[in-house]
Structures are given as structure tokens and as C-alpha cells.
Structure 1
Amino acid sequence: MFFHLPRYLLQLRKLFAPLGNRMDNLEQYLAPLLAYFDGEPWPQGIAIMGVTFLFASLLSWFIFRTLKFLTSKTKSFLDDRLLAIARPPIYYSLLMTGFSAGVNRMPLSDKLTDYLIFGFKTLGVIIWMIALVRVSKIILQQLAWGGNRNNIRLIQPQTLPLFDNVSKLLIVAVAVYIIFQIWGIDMTAWLASAGIVGIAVGFAAKDTLANLFSGVFILADTPYKIGDYIVLDGNQRGKVTHIGLRSTRLITRDDVEVTVPNSIMGNSKVTNQSGGPHPKFRIRVQVGVAYGTDIDQVNDILMKVAEDEPLVPKSPEPRVRFRAFGASSLDFELLCWIENPELRGRTLHKLNSAVYKRFNEENIEIPYSKQDLYIKELPKT
């Protein structure tokens, strides 16, 4: 496919080229007017330009007025925006046809005539390039923000800047290629030089390119998004505040910003605590009671503590599990959910405090390690 790219670009160039072989048809329609100025090339050229200007203005006004009336009947604003963008390049394409025919009629030197026509073509390419950039941006925004947000899509709000920049780069590259072809500039040497420079830059900026490609894959795959709480391999935990092409930034619980290169993020195990079907996060309160304690009473107290805590939602319901017979305690675990991982520390603090107070009120012993010291004999004096 890439080997045939120049051929495809040449085909695209034809879309922007003035209708050279159709100028004869235009001049046939204007034959009576040209006959009136027979033998006077300057008035003939100016007449062709003037008639083309009037024709293009009236035709574009009528067509786009009709289309605007039709699009106003729809509920979507997408067709209105696309219609507004399409009018300038189409209007200019009509003008370019007549102006090129008028310049050909004028008694100018061949070199100046070529320069003027090449200038018309170049201006047309630039106008179409700007229009296509705007159209691509609107379409990408529609793909990213429109439709059902639960669907998995490659183009998402967080990947929109990436695809927007790539589309702009491709459109501008094609436009530059067409302009070079219009002016007869051989791009073989330019492409060869660009390839050599690209190889040199690739070796010199190996780490930067690794971060760049990792950033592209992160934006496309979206293992995490801005606002998620993630845990890295080294137990570094924080809230994602920025995902760039080079690095990812986190804010830790100590309000310290950590910048991690994307190459490391792409090759590390990342735990997204905000991922899954909902942003809720489960916490575990582990507590041990002395042997002989009424386990039903412990279960009721732990459930009551969880139900009375405002930071613990009602759904999913909290639960208590009797985990193990410990060396010196019966080990229980209170499992409950919080709305987002950011509340983990605050909720654990309140639950631990409430459990300790209730156990004290109910005279439930929380065993702890004890060491007894026996003196075998006192030193002799």
C-alpha cells in the first residue's frame, strides 16, 4: 500500500487541479460574449472572470440556501456545520475555473500565465486543506462524544487530541505534496533526505520515541483515564491528573505530583482501583477477638458499625466474615464499599474508631501479644 502512495496522491491532486480540459466547454458557453470583444484579449479575459464571479456567486447562493433550508429541518447540528464549511472551497473552485480561463485569454507571457494559474491552484489547495481539517475535527468530535458512551470505541474523549493531530498532519502532508507537484518540484530528494533524517532522529531520540509510542498505546487502549486512582508496581498510589504523549502524572495522597514516563507505565503492572463496572472500592477492616467471645454478637456489632457509617453506601451491602482461628484470637473481617478509592483512608479511620469504642462498651476483648518475664533467681549480693 505504501509503495503506491505517490500514485494515490497524484489522484488526489486531480481533485484540486483546475478544470483545464473543461475550459473549452466554458468558453463555448461564453462564445457570444467573447465574439462581442473579438480581437480584444484583455476585455475577453476580464469578461470571463466577471461572468464566472456572478455565476459562482448566484449558483452557490442558490444551492447552499436550499441545502440550509433542508438541514434546518433536522435535529442534528452536524449537517449545518459541515454545510458552512463546504461553501468556501466549492465557491472558490468555481471561481478558479473561470479565473484560469480568463488568464489564459489575456496577452500575458507564458511564464506569468503559468505562475498565476499555479497560484490559483495553490490557493485552492490551501482552502480545501483548511476545510478538510475542520471537517475531520468535527467528525472526530462526533465519533468521540456522540452515541452510547458505554460502547468501547477507539476514538474516545481522552484519545480525541491524538487522532485530531494525526488527521491534521496527514491532511497537511497531502496538501504540501500536491502543492509541490503543482509547481513541478521533484520530491524524490526531499523524501530521501527526510528518510535519512528520520533514521538519525530515531536513534538519537530512542527513549523519547519509546515514551511517545507508549503514550499512543495508552491513549488508544485506555487502561486508565484522568481521575482514576492507580497503583504501580512499587505500591506508588495516586490520582491520574494528566495523560500526555510523553508521561503520565499522578497526585499522591501527600499532594505530591509524580511524573512517570509512559514507557515505564506501558511495561509495568498497573492496578486501576477506579476501574471495573463502577468506581466503588471495597475496603477490609480486620479485627480479632479473644477466644470465648460470642461470635454472633461480634457479627452484629460489626454490621451495625458499617450500617451507621455515612461513608459506607447501602448498596452493595456490607458483610462480615469469620476468617480464621488465630494463634490467640478469632479473626474477623468487615467488608464494605466506598463510593471511590479516595475515601479509603478516611473511612477506615472512622470504622476502626467505631469498632474499638463498641467493643469497649460491650466488654469484648481484643487480644494482643503479651510477654511474661520470670526471674529464675536474684543476683547474689
Structure 2
Amino acid sequence: MQEQNFEYVLLVIGTLVVAIIVSTILRKLVSHLINKNATTLKADPTNFYFLKNALPFLIYAAALLFILLKIPGLRNFGAALFAGAGVFAAVLGFASQKAFANIISGVFILIFKPFKVNDWIILGEKWRGWVEEITLRHTVIKDMENQRIIVPNSVISDETIINSHYLEKRICKKITFGISYDSDISRAIDIIISEAQKHPLHIDYRTDEDKAEQHPDIPIRVGDWADSSIPINAYIWAGSPEEANLMKSDLLQSVKKKFEESNIEIPYPHRTVVQKQSGKTI
């Protein structure tokens, strides 16, 4: 009896060790295949990453089932467990509803693909960055500071997603420049267009027909009559969201220098205080 129990213990330990080894090897193998072949085959790596993260769950489930079938005592327990599967499923479902919601949401992400691995997304009002990994439970987003944001899949399903790589990468970046009411607005617009056209990341996406009809390369619109400034909006095309952000940073710097050279004022908020008793303005 003791020898038999010892054999069962060895069976359990051996099965778990084999499951761990097989899981580790398969995850590394799949990772290697993804990194090596995804770009060459021009295949979407999202499916492979999801499969890689689902493999351990499947392997451990198979190992548990093997142990239940091989040990008579556990086999009876398994039969009783399946006999009461209805009650067990209800209890398990209630206790693990969030976990199952994450898994189901992860499957929906895989099927409907609102985003893929390496896409730049804005998730609600809190998170933005590159999608690095999609697992059964959560999605990993890498932000501009190289930090990893781990968001449960069920939370993602309830959020509005802005995907800058959906269908195409190119983006029309809106950059706003504010000038004072006393400044020469025509001169300011000329400076913005000139600086934008000189930038190496700016792309002219006009068709030959657009050029023949003299549609502007960089549309400029006066946004409003604000409290302290006149906002001028420039709509500039770039090849990707990353390039658009770099271009915006460079243009904010170069346009400011040109504004200073041309005596175009970049205003700051002003307040006029009236003293009611005397009627004088301070």
C-alpha cells in the first residue's frame, strides 16, 4: 500500500515536472518562431502571442486530467466531481466571473481585432502606448516612458479605443499655435506652413487631382477667438503616430523661434481687475 502511494506521489510529481518543462519549451519555441517568421510571412503576430500564452493553461489542464485518470482515488473524486458538475459550475462561475470575463474578452479581442500587437492605441482617458502582448487575462501596453501598463481584458471591452494603426498607419496631426490679437495672422500662417513643409517627417499626401485643383498641402484653420489668443490649427500628414509626435515637438520649437524673429507674440492669459468703489481699472 505504501509502495503504491509512493508511486502515485512520483506520478504526480513527474507529471507536473513534465508539464512545466513542456510548457517552458513550447513557449520559447513559439516565441522564437514568432520573432523569426512573423515579419517574413507578413502575418499578424497577435494570434501567435495569444496562442503562446494559452499553451500553459492547456498543458496544465491536460496534466491534471492525466493525474485524475491514473490515480484510482482521484478518479472516483473526478467522477463525483463531474456528477455534481452543475453545482460546481455554478459555484465556480460565481467565484471566477471576473476571470472568465477577462478570458472571453481576450478571445473577442483575438477574433474582432480592435487592435493588434505593435499597434499604438489610446484606451479611454487613462492609457496610451504600444500594444506589447495580449494574454488570456490581460493586455500589456508599453507607454512612452517604457513602462508596462497591464489592463484586464474585461476593462478594455468597456473602454473606447483609439487605434492609430487601424487599417493604415499614416495620420493627419492637428497642431495648434496660439498668437496674440495684435500679431500679424497672415505672417504667422506663412511661417507655420514654411516650417512644416521643411520638416523631413512631413508627407504630402495630395493626389495629382488635388494639386491641379490647388488644394493646400497643409490646411490651416483659425480655431476660435479665445480669451487671450487666436488659436491657429495646422493639419499636417505624417507616416505614423510616432513620427507625428516627433514632428509636433520639432515644429513647436522651430515655429516659436520664427515667431520671435518676426515679432509675433505667443500670449499668456491676462486678467483685468475692476475696482467697483472707485470705478478705476487696476
TM-score by length of 1: 0.47
- Greater strand share, structure number: 2
Using CA pairs below 8 Å that are at least 6 residues apart, which structure has the higher relative contact order?
2
**Counterpart among 301, 314, 317 of residue 191 in structure 2:** 301
Q: Which residue identity lines up with residue 144 of structure 2 in the other structure?
A: R
Q: Is the 8 A contact 1:215 1:245 kept in 2?
A: yes
Matches within 5 A, 1:238-249: 238-249=129-140
Distance between the aligned counterparts of 2:187 and 2:172, measured in 1? Answer: 23
- Note closer, same or farther for the CA distance 1:297–1:327 as it changes in structure 2 (3 Å cut): same
- Note closer, same or farther for the CA distance 1:292–1:202 as it changes in structure 2 (3 Å cut): closer
Q: Which residue identity lines up with residue 300 of structure 1 in the other structure?
A: D
Q: Is the 8 A contact 2:49 2:135 kept in 1?
A: no
Q: How many pairs are equivalent?
A: 221
Sequence identity of aligned pairs in percent? 29
Matches within 5 A, 1:201-350: 201-272=92-163, 274-291=164-181, 293-315=183-205, 317-350=217-250
- Measure how far apart 1:195 and its partner are: 5.0
Structure 2 portions without partners, runs of 5+ = 1-37, 67-77, 207-216
Distance between the aligned counterparts of 1:157 and 1:191, measured in 2? Answer: 33
Q: Is the 8 A contact 1:312 1:337 kept in 2?
A: yes
Deviation string, structure 1 residues 156-185 (Cα, Å, up to 9, x no partner):
6566669999999xxx9xxx9xxxxxxxxx
Deviation string, structure 1 residues 73-93 (Cα, Å, up to 9, x no partner):
xxxxxxxxxxxxxxxxxxxxx
2:25 alignment partner in structure 1:
none
Structure 1 portions without partners, runs of 5+ = 1-144, 177-186, 377-381
Greater Cα offset, 190-199 or 257-266:
190-199
1:358 alignment partner in structure 2:
258
- Note closer, same or farther for the CA distance 1:250–1:166 as it changes in structure 2 (3 Å cut): closer
State the SS of the aligned residue for 2:224. strand
Distance between the aligned counterparts of 1:353 and 1:195, measured in 2? Answer: 66
- Note closer, same or farther for the CA distance 1:362–1:231 as it changes in structure 2 (3 Å cut): same
State the SS of the aligned residue for 1:325. coil
Matches within 5 A, 1:171-186: none
Distance between the aligned counterparts of 1:374 and 1:204, measured in 2? Answer: 64
Q: Which residue identity lines up with residue 167 of structure 2 in the other structure?
A: P
Distance between the aligned counterparts of 2:167 and 2:142, measured in 1? Answer: 24
Structure with higher Rg: it is 1
1:12 alignment partner in structure 2:
none
Q: Is the 8 A contact 2:50 2:136 kept in 1?
A: no
Q: Is the 8 A contact 1:290 1:367 kept in 2?
A: yes
- Measure how far apart 1:334 and its partner are: 1.3
Q: Is the 8 A contact 1:290 1:330 kept in 2?
A: yes
- Note closer, same or farther for the CA distance 1:368–1:202 as it changes in structure 2 (3 Å cut): closer
- Measure how far apart 1:327 and its partner are: 3.9
TM-score by length of 2: 0.61
